[in-house]
Amino acid sequence: MTKWAFTQESLCSNTSVSLQGATGLSVSLFIFQETMYIEENTYKNDMISLIFLLKEKVGALAKVLRIFEEKSINLTHIESRPSRVNKDEYEFFINLDRRNTPLLTDIIKTLRNEMGVTVHELSRKKKKDAVPWFPRTIQELDRFANQILSYGAELDADHPGFKDPVYRARRKEFADMAYNYRHGQPIPKVTYTEEEKKTWGTVFRELKTLYPTHACYEHNHVFPLLEKYCGYQEDNIPQLEDVSKFLQTCTGFRLRPVAGLLSSRDFLAGLAFRVFHSTQYIRHGSKPMYTPEPDVCHELLGHVPLFADISFAQFSQEIGLASLGAPDEYIEKLATVYWFTVEFGLCKEGDTIKAYGAGLLSSFGELQYCLSDKPEIQSLNLEKTAVQKYPVTEFQPEKVRRFASSIPRPFSIRYDPYTQRIEVLDNAKQLKNLAESISSEMGTLCSALKKIE
């Protein structure tokens, strides 16, 4: 007997939040093949599973069941529960034999068009249509902690700290801290050693000499605020928690510590929630001007200032939102877009070129080089970006938006900042809610425009 997944085990799995979400039910449908929302054998046993929503009314279910009966379709399983999406509705989960597939299209049409019933097909779609799992709530980012590609303490043989057992042990401490971190907790404060502070001091001092001439306006605008409010000083490594709180007041972006390398898909998904996965350890003291991987200097000096800028935050989130549920090849393209903008982007200020990419702003050598006459600079072209270097660009969110709309995805999504959830827009009620919310915003906009006329 197939059962609806309400067991404790499934509540801990990626399926549960879909069930609990304000709009969760519908997305679960798309990700069924990936997440086993319903027991795996539902699919294997050649069953078709459907969910439909009915208003709480006497005889409503009987009316629907009659349609199946008229086509001589035997339902092998039926289950109900109050809808978590709409308070006055019930959700019904049914199973029927796959041999009934030819009749099903008509039945679903009748239910939808003639009876106005919301129907979701769970398992009729072919495997190839399955949408990769993606987090629906900000809490679900916790899952990524267990999915890192390499643990922070594992260093390559050519890493400056490879032969330093003290450094390696320290790296493990940081990795463990991040691994155990959960959304909502304060980011653990770190007591950095004198040697670590010295390394930071060198990087900080050197880069600061270049910022006025090389960094973009936004970076230079925010940097003094970070010095004032977040402990950005030559002799002090700022705490991620303080910086995260500061960013939240500016743009809603927040930091969360990461134990190692994340996949592009997971990393980009964080951006959809305005969450930036940040390292907390510092590079090896023997080579303060070099790091083979992102470290706290890279995050704090390169990334953080820009995440305090409203347009840049929006731009970064758009890349993240575009990535949710996107096929692998599009994730790769988005990661490349991210690389050539957020990491290595240059922009024009009047006739002058300035750096806004974190990889440039956190590396003395790169920052000097990128504004010299040596690199070949090209404009951002999302179709060709994979083969380009150092694009000149403003943040250009409209380009990312256009690119995002070309990603094959069987639904539209939006981020609800109030609930910190991803909403999948696939039913009339949600669209109506969205229209109402936009209409209210438009009212505010029109009224404000009139007042400044």
Contacts with Fe ion by CB under 5 A lie at 294, 358
d(CA 398, CA 72): 52
Question: 386, 333 in Cβ contact below 8 A?
Answer: yes
What is the number of the residue whose Cβ is closest to Fe ion?
A: 358
Given the residues 362, 363, 366, 423, select the one marked as catalytic: 362
- Rounded to an integer, what is the distance from CA 414 to the centroid of its chain? 12
The kind and range of the H/E element at 32 are: helix 32-35
Listed residue (335, 321, 276) closest to 422, CA to CA: 321
Query: In the 8-state DSSP scheme, what is residue 183?
Result: T
195 is annotated as an active-site residue: no
Minimum Å gap between C-beta 193 and Fe ion is 24
Distance CA 192, CA 46 (A): 58
Q: Which residue among 214, 219, 284, 298 is the active-site one? A: 298
206 Cβ contact list (under 8 Å, min separation 6): 289, 364
- Tell me if 264 sits within 8 A of 313, measured CB to CB: no
Judged by beta carbon, residue 255 or residue 358, the one nearer Fe ion is 358
Q: Name the minimum Å distance from CB 342 to Fe ion.
A: 7
Residue that the structure tokens 């199973």 belong to: 95
Check the CA dihedral 171-300-389-289 and report its sign. negative
Tokens describing residue 405: 């709309």
The answer to the question of whether 159 is labelled as a binding residue is: no
Least distance in angstroms from the C-beta of 331 to Fe ion: 17
Residue number, 38 or 187, with CB nearest to Fe ion = 187
Structure tokens given for 212: 């006025």
343 marked ligand binding residue: yes
Helix (H) or strand (E) holding 254: strand 254-257
Asked whether the beta carbons of 13 and 143 are under 8 A apart, the reply is: no
Query: Whole-number minimum distance, CB 261 to Fe ion, in Å?
Result: 12
Choice between 294 and 325, CB closer to Fe ion:
294
Q: Among 232, 236, 238, 231, which residue's Cα sits nearest to residue 197?
A: 236
If the CB atoms of residues 10 and 279 are measured against Fe ion, the closer one turns out to be: 279
In the complex with Fe ion, the residue whose CB is nearer, 21 or 294, is 294
Annotated catalytic residue 311:
no
439: annotated active-site residue? no
DSSP 187: P
Which member of 343, 363, 366, 423 is catalytic?
343
Nearer of residues 117 and 358 to Fe ion, judged by Cβ:
358
Any binding-site annotation on 221?
Answer: no
- Please report, as a single letter, which amino acid is at residue 103: L
Query: 155 or 304: whose CB is closer to Fe ion?
Result: 304
Q: Which amino acid is at 375?
A: P
Strands (E), 36-123: 47-55, 75-82, 89-97, 118-121
Q: How far is the CB of 358 from Fe ion (least distance, A)?
A: 5
Cα 355-357-363 angle, rounded to 5 deg: 85
- The tokens for 437 are 């919310």
* C-beta separation of 316 from 254 below 8 A: no
Does residue 298 have an active-site annotation?
yes
Q: Which residues have CB under 8 Å from 30's CB, separation 6+? A: 130, 131, 325, 410, 411, 424
Report the catalytic residues: 298, 303, 343, 362
Residues forming the annotated binding site? 298, 303, 343
The annotated binding site for Fe cation is made up of: 298, 303, 343
